[in-house]
Structure 1
Amino acid sequence: MIMSETSPQTHIGRRLQHHFPDLGPQERRVADFILAHLEDLAVYSATDLSRLSGVSKATVTRLFRRLGYDDFKAVKAHARQLRHYGVPLASRSDALDDGVERFRRHAEREQENLRQCLDGLTPVLFDEVVRALDKAPAVAVIGYRNSYPVALHLRQQLLQARANVRLLPAPNQSLAEELVELEPGALVVLIGFRRRPRLFETLVEALAAREQRVLLIGDPTTAKYADRVTWRLECALETISAFDSYASAMSLVSLLANAMLHRRLAQGRSRIGEVAELYEALDELAP
């Protein structure tokens, strides 16, 4: 579907760029300021924009109406929604930070993401999930777009300690045949971080209809699927700038894989040893 430049889903930056040639000098001053501070738009007021860009409040109001917004409240809601759903919004102010200060802010944000992830885990929930990863006759891991590297890493970690862990679908293949072949009692681990493909919701519905056990790992936007999956684990992705961070997700993968290994320590150690011997026999890894 092709969206018009003023449809509700269209990024405000794209709207500004589309209308920029038709803007007057004062409106252009506001537009330039907004484009330079998109990440901060949700926290500004119309008065702030007027003052910081050096134009009248009426000019700010006129610009937003030209862009298709009823008022500035609609603009702020749009900006918050874009970031919530993962649209990268960057501010030039990030580039002005002192290096040490930037590192400090980054570390604090990462620590907060990890804290939120772990706070959402209870011992009972965690034990249930780890037991399922251990006891399921087969584990199918699915992740699209930005979720794919996390899914791939989870599959690789689990495969060190147990058999029959698959990453679905195979490259350039459809998913239906793979799901039909899943053993009774198999566990599907669905990785679903924001900006998911449209297929994702249909997949959740299909797995629920088949009464498939599903572990969903995603960001807070997956809350709407909670009643259709068996377990849901949440990872915060927020950063100090535009692009999401998956550090908490990778940490969760490590936590789950290690916990599963310790549930089957004897078998896991034996399998790890066999894999290591084959690495050597095949000369696959450098020293």
Structure 2
Amino acid sequence: MTTTAPPPASAASTAVDGLRLDERVAARYAELPPQERKGADVLLEHFGDLATYSAAELAALAGVSKATMSRLFRSLGFDDFSQVRDHLRALRQHGLPLGLGDAPDLDAHVEAEAAAVRVAVAALAVHLDPVADLLAHAPRVVVVGLRTSYPLALHLRQQLAQVRPHVALVPQPGQSLAEDLVDLSPQDAVVLVALRRRPPGVRALVARLAEAGTPVVLLADPTARALAAHATWWVQCPVQTRGAFDSYAAASSVVAALADAVLGRRGRTGEQRVAGIDSAYRALGEVEARGGAAER
């Protein structure tokens, strides 16, 4: 009995494996026949909302036949347009801004945001007592935020600095991480804000902190499961939305709740610091004059 070996993968497919759709087009464009180039032009032109079209609609936009579009998809390493859609969904789940539908449904948007906040706050509630105690009383707290996580890290640092001293934000503009982390001890604390599309060095950072015994509070989305294995606590903050861009509403809510919990644990000392900073604000003219408590 003889068996027939499966046909080898085409050179077109293997040459573009692992590339994003637009990168596949760029790699293969010069070799495409003129009609397939027309289709490729449409793919690039509509890359941001490609998943909202059917293969027939794309063919019509390009002025080519559906058979030509099918050949183009195969030239780019896909069996058919359903694989292209799967590819686009995978990119979106990785955080790449891609339009996946029509005009946003604002009611659905609000519901999705509320659901994400509930998930994140529930995750915080599981660890709130030990995390808030640590951030309230550790000798030093370092808040780390890279790329798009930096604004949230900056905001958390500002909140914590209102209620306790010795809170640092790293990295500072133009600086590296090592100088600020090398002296951390097991008595200190690190809050790592690491939402998706993180730089690859984050894994080495978390592993190094774990090796040093420094407690790590990880605020990250569900794609950070590998990082969470090295963190002391993981507060999962969903960022996936129905639209093209990630939402940080859940993570922002966690930051606010966590800062409030730390203030409560600082007690009278925290309240005195808030009052002192408020007096300094007014003396320096750093915030507009108004009544009420200090803005945090």
* Superposition TM-score, scaled by structure 1 size: 0.82
Q: Is the 8 A contact 1:30 1:50 kept in 2?
A: no
Equivalent of residue 165 in structure 1, options 164, 167, 173: 167
Equivalent of residue 13 in structure 1, options 1, 18, 22: 22
Instruction: Report the equivalent of 1:279.
Output: 281
Instruction: Report the equivalent of 1:189.
Output: 191
Percent identity over the alignment is: 40
Instruction: Report the equivalent of 1:32.
Output: 42
* Cα distance, 1:230 vs structure 2: 0.2
* Cα distance, 1:68 vs structure 2: 2.3
Measured in 1, the distance between the counterparts of 2:21 and 2:279 equals 56
* Cα distance, 1:133 vs structure 2: 1.3
Q: Is the 8 A contact 1:134 1:264 kept in 2?
A: yes
* Cα distance, 1:51 vs structure 2: 6.8
Instruction: Report the equivalent of 2:78.
Output: 69
Q: Is the 8 A contact 1:30 1:53 kept in 2?
A: no
Instruction: Report the equivalent of 1:49.
Output: 55
Mapping 1:189-228, distance limit 5 Å? 189-228=191-230
* Cα distance, 1:27 vs structure 2: 7.2
Mapping 1:74-153, distance limit 5 Å? 74-90=83-99, 94=102, 97=103, 102-121=105-124, 123-153=125-155
* Pair 50,204 (structure 1): closer, same or farther in 2 beyond 3 Å: same
Instruction: Report the equivalent of 2:253.
Output: 251
Gaps of 5+ in 1: none
Measured in 1, the distance between the counterparts of 2:36 and 2:169 equals 54
Measured in 2, the distance between the counterparts of 1:252 and 1:23 equals 53
Instruction: Report the equivalent of 2:178.
Output: 176
Q: Is the 8 A contact 1:86 1:244 kept in 2?
A: yes
Q: Could you give the per-residue CA deviations for residues 153-186 of structure 1, whole angstroms, max 9, x where no partner exists? A: 0000011111111101332222222112224410
- Structure 1 stretch 13-22 or stretch 56-65: which is displaced more? 13-22
Equivalent of residue 244 in structure 2, options 223, 242, 246: 242
2:216 is paired with a residue of what secondary structure?
strand
* Pair 152,84 (structure 1): closer, same or farther in 2 beyond 3 Å: same
Mapping 1:251-270, distance limit 5 Å? 251-270=253-272
Q: Could you give the per-residue CA deviations for residues 224-270 of structure 1, whole angstroms, max 9, x where no partner exists? A: 12221100111111233222111111111001001111122311111
Q: Is the 8 A contact 1:30 1:49 kept in 2?
A: no
Measured in 2, the distance between the counterparts of 1:35 and 1:178 equals 44
* Pair 8,241 (structure 1): closer, same or farther in 2 beyond 3 Å: farther
Q: Is the 8 A contact 2:39 2:69 kept in 1?
A: no
* Cα distance, 1:80 vs structure 2: 2.5
Measured in 2, the distance between the counterparts of 1:14 and 1:277 equals 55
Matched residue type, 2:55: L
* Pair 119,280 (structure 1): closer, same or farther in 2 beyond 3 Å: closer
Q: Is the 8 A contact 2:281 2:287 kept in 1?
A: yes
Q: Is the 8 A contact 1:226 1:232 kept in 2?
A: yes
Q: Is the 8 A contact 1:27 1:60 kept in 2?
A: no
Between structure 1 and structure 2, the one with the greater Rg is 2
* Superposition TM-score, scaled by structure 2 size: 0.80
Measured in 2, the distance between the counterparts of 1:168 and 1:205 equals 17
Matched residue type, 1:49: A
Matched residue type, 1:212: T
Q: Considering only aligned residues, what root-mean-square deviation do their CA atoms show, in Å? A: 2.9
The answer as to 2:234 corresponding to 1:232 is: yes
